Amino acid sequence: MNLLIGIGNRFGGDDFIGSWVARNFEAEGWLSMDCGTVPENFTSEIRRLKPERIVIVDAADMGLEPGEIRIIDEGKIDEFTVSTHSIPLSVFVGYLREFVEEVIIIGIQPKKFEGNPSEEVKRAGKRLIDILKEKDWMEKLQKL
């Protein structure tokens, strides 16, 4: 079973996108969890679920056009992810690696950090949901 973890701040404009994706994603072979800005509070539940793979979705300032989607190399997580979370994402991922072999971080380039999510970023969230529902989702993500 795959586990999608959405991270985001519902009051932070495009920073909400990870949570939004998690709340709107359903697919066979997947579970989805909105962890808000405190993913470390969900570690016991994540460990109990025993996922084979974890996919984390978060807003990430990668210097791209708003709504661009990329897999983020684990070594560059803290360079790109938005720091509205209570602990660095690298610390959270390090903990997950203690009991899950594969952790994939997907970043969506934000446009703004106030008000509601931008249309570009919401479209990207919908696109990501569609990609993750496909059997060859990893190949498609790697081509973005």
Among 2-16, 40-54, 88-102, which stretch is predicted with the lowest mean pLDDT? 88-102
pLDDT at 76: 81
Domain span at residue 7 reads 2-142
Give the whole-angstrom CA distance, residue 75 versus residue 88.
Answer: 12
% of the chain surpassing 90 pLDDT:
79
pLDDT at 75: 81
Find out whether 68 and 121 touch, Cβ atoms under 8 Å: no
pLDDT at 83: 55
pLDDT at 33: 98
Q: How confident is the model at residue 72 (pLDDT cuts 50, 70, 90)?
A: very high
Q: How confident is the model at residue 87 (pLDDT cuts 50, 70, 90)?
A: confident
Q: Per the structure, how many domains does the chain have?
A: 1
pLDDT at 81: 64
pLDDT in tens, 11-54: 999 999 999 999 999 999 999 999 999 999 999 999 999 999 99
Give the whole-angstrom CA distance, residue 86 versus residue 83.
Answer: 8
Q: Domain of 77: which CATH number?
A: 3.40.50.1450
Find out whether 49 and 31 touch, Cβ atoms under 8 Å: yes
pTM equals 0.93
Q: Which residues of 65-99 are buried (b: 16+ CB within 10 A; e: fewer)?
A: ebbbbbebeeeebeebbbebbeeebbebbebbeee
The total of other beta-carbon atoms located within 10 Å of residue 30's CB is 17
